[in-house]
Structure 1
Amino acid sequence: MSTKVNLLGLSGSLRAQSAHTAVLRTVAECLPELVRLELFGLGSLPPYNEDCDGVHAPLEVLALREAVARSDGLLIGSPEYNHGMSGVLKNALDWLSRPHGQSVLSGRAVLTFTASPAFTGGVRAHQQLNETLWAIQARLVQYPQIVIGSSGSKTREGRLVDDASRRFLMAGIECLLEQVRSSQRLRS
């Protein structure tokens, strides 16, 4: 009997027509029966302020940390703004990295992707995103970079429609699921 897997999806874009949210929605629709992907919006998170953390942490931050703690793994997507990840995503990761040495992301399986209207697909943001996750000690899935270039022509009606991108992305999701299942077997 297979164990249920709960994944959490974070989109680093707040746009209504976000390619990253479209990718996350597409993945959620393509997952096997016992796997669920919950999307968590980052738009209401306040800017990180250490003075407002700990017992004073905002409810939105506590909700995000709880969602990560409930998940078995994460799928995180970021646009590339000025050769880096989005500020909203960096802010969320800063909140999630605390308290220092006790992050809910520490040791948790994470697969990342970027998408961009540019042909490069956000490759620089992808590297920055992974560096930040390494610093937090998340367990990055070993898979080639998932960068979706020319994203405007590959998404339609809030979904990723490019077959080659979908296949490559879903193969990465399989690696994420294997890493999660391996962790579940070790815990049982």
Structure 2
Amino acid sequence: MDILGISGSLRAASFNTALLRAAQELAPAGMRIATHRLHELPLFDQDVEEQGDPPPVVALKDAIDAADALLLACPEYNGGISGVLKNAIDWASRAGRDRAKSPLAGKLVCIVGASPGITGTVRAQDALRLVLRRAGARTEPQGEVLVFQAHTKIADGKLADERTRDALARHLQAFADRVAASRG
């Protein structure tokens, strides 16, 4: 089972990128989580799209197409989705000139998130689900991983809190079960 992990943060010391690394460590047997960085992705521009997707967009769409499902690590910026993550979804929601359909169409997505705040990333995750559903992705109810006060649980780029690690491992197992069931 090939899962594509994407962090909605560009920050080198991102709590959400650390959460993806922890997910790679804690993935159940048979689940592989590869990550894709958004650092080179241009801002969505339909004029550019009409001339053909730029190479970083093609790479993102190809990675999504190749994955069985997505794992999105969603930071919360001002109560919403980061611009970086929204931009990636905007690009991936469109087929472009060379594809029959959007890479997100029908794709199963799991959302996790970490924030220094006391509510984790609950508002951003809710907003992200809405955007993903609009883009045709499947964000079936599957519980939430809301790592609150992340600065107390993630140290030196590693998820150190055992209760959070256990919760993430259980969440990933439930996600693996859902992906396996969706594949029939």
TM exceeds 0.5?
A: yes
CA shift digits 1:163-187 (9 cap, x unpaired)? 22222222221122112111222xx
Q: Do structure 1's residue 37 and structure 2's residue 36 form an aligned pair?
A: no
Contact 1:117 1:150 in 2 (8 A): yes
Please give the secondary structure, in 2, of the residue aligned with 1:134: helix
Answer with 125-134 or 50-59: which moved more.
Answer: 50-59
Residue among 2, 16, 20 paired with 2:16: 20
CA deviations 1:23-54 (Å, max 9, x no partner) are: 10011012234221001000110000111115
Aligned to 2:165, what secondary structure does the other structure show? helix
- Aligned match of 2:125: 126
- Unmatched 5+ stretches in structure 1: none
Contact 1:142/1:175 (<8 A) preserved: no
Q: Distance in 1 between matches of 2:51 and 2:64?
A: 18
Aligned CA RMSD, in angstroms, stands at 1.6
Query: Where does 1:86-125 land on structure 2 (aligned, <5 Å)?
Result: 86-99=82-95, 102-125=101-124
Residue in 1 that maps onto 2:143: 144
Gaps of 5+ in 2: none
- What residue identity is the alignment partner of 2:11? R
Q: Secondary structure at the match of 1:15?
A: coil
Question: Offset of 1:82 from its aligned partner?
Answer: 1.1
Identity %: 38
TM-score, L = length of structure 2: 0.92
State whether residues 54 and 99 of structure 1, in contact with CA within 8 Å, keep that contact through their aligned partners in structure 2: no
Paired amino acid for 1:164: R
TM-score, normalized by length of structure 1? 0.91
Runs of 4+ in 1 over 2 A off after TM superposition: 99-102
* Correspondence for 1:62 among 52, 58, 65: 58
What per-residue deviation string (whole Å, max 9, x for no partner) do you get for residues 109-164 of structure 1?
Answer: 11001211011112111111111111112111422222110001111221211122
